[in-house]
Amino acid sequence: MEEVKNVERLAEENSSIAKSEKEATSEMKLLAKQTIKRAKAREMLVKNEIELAKIRERLAEKTKKLVEKKEKVKGLLNIGNDILKMEKDQAIYNERVAEIQTKIAEIQRKIANIETEIAGVRLKRANKKSEEANERDNLAKKQFAYVKLVNANAPGEKISKAEEIYLKIQKELTKLETDAMEVNKNMVEKQNKLADLKKELSEKLAEREKIRPAGISS
C-alpha cells in the first residue's frame, strides 16, 4: 500500500507541476514574441545608424574638398586660418564619428540576428515545455487511474495494465525532459554570445562618447 500512496503523491505533484508548466509556457511564448519585436526594432536602428554614418562620411568628404578650395583662394577672399582649421577639424570629427558609428551598427546587426535566433529557440523551448506539460498532465491522470483501480481491488490484470501504461508515459516524459535540456543548452550558448556582443557594443559606445570636436574636451 505504501507504493500506491507514493504513486498517488507523484500523481498529485505531476498534476500541480503540469498546471504551472502550462502557465509558464504562455509567458515563454510571449517573451519570444517580444524578443522578435525588439530584434526588428534594433534592425531599424541599424539602418538609421548606417544611413547617418554615410551622411557624415559624405559631409566630411565635401567639407575637405571645400577647405581645399578655400585654401587656394584664402588670400583673395580674406579667409582666416582659424576658420579653415575649424572646418578641417569638423571634417575629421565627422570622419571619426562615421567610422565608429558604422562599427556600432555592425555590432547592433549581429545583436539583432542573435536576438532573432534566441526568439526562435525560446519558441521551440516553449513548445517543448508545452508538450512536456501535457505529457505530465496525462501521466498524472494515468497514475490516479492506477491508484483508483488498486484501491477498488480491481482484477490484477487491469491493475498491471494501468501500471504499464503510466510507466510508459513516465518514460516518454523523461525523454521530453532530456530534449528540453538540450534546447536549453542551445539557449544558454546563444545568450552567452549575446552577452559578449553587448559588452563589445558597450565598449564601442564608450569609444564613441570620447570623440570630441577639436577644442572641446570631455
User: pLDDT tens-digit profile of 158-169?
Assistant: 999 999 999 999
Comparing 5-9, 14-18, 80-84, 146-150, the range with the smallest average pLDDT is: 80-84
Q: How far apart are CA 24 and CA 18, in angstroms?
A: 10
Q: Which long-range contacts (CB under 8 A, 24 or more apart) does 150-153 make?
A: 150/4, 151/4
- What's this model's pTM, rounded to 2 decimal places? 0.79
Q: How far apart are CA 166 and CA 171, in angstroms?
A: 9
180-to-31, 139, 166, 200 alpha-carbon distances in Å: 17, 18, 21, 30
CATH number for the domain running over 2-210? 1.20.1260.80
Answer whether 100's CB lies under 8 Å from 205's CB.
no
> How far from chain centre, in Å, is Cα 38?
9
Q: How far apart are CA 99 and CA 204, in angstroms?
A: 11
Answer whether 157's CB lies under 8 Å from 187's CB.
no
Does the pLDDT at position 218 exceed 70?
no
The secondary element (H helix, E strand) that includes residue 82 is helix 81-151
Q: How confident is the model at residue 133 (pLDDT cuts 50, 70, 90)?
A: very high
Answer whether 119's CB lies under 8 Å from 35's CB.
yes
Answer whether 197's CB lies under 8 Å from 189's CB.
no
Q: Over the stretch 122-132, which tens digit does the pLDDT of each residue have? A: 999 999 999 99
User: How is residue 59 written as a grid cell?
Assistant: 559631409
Residues of the chain above pLDDT 70, percent: 98
Q: How far apart are CA 51 and CA 60, in angstroms?
A: 14
Answer whether 90's CB lies under 8 Å from 213's CB.
yes
Provide mean pLDDT across the span 178-182.
Answer: 92
Q: How far apart are CA 41 and CA 190, in angstroms?
A: 19
pLDDT attached to residue 79: 83
- Close Cβ partners of 187 (under 8 Å, ≥ 6 residues apart): 118, 121, 122, 125
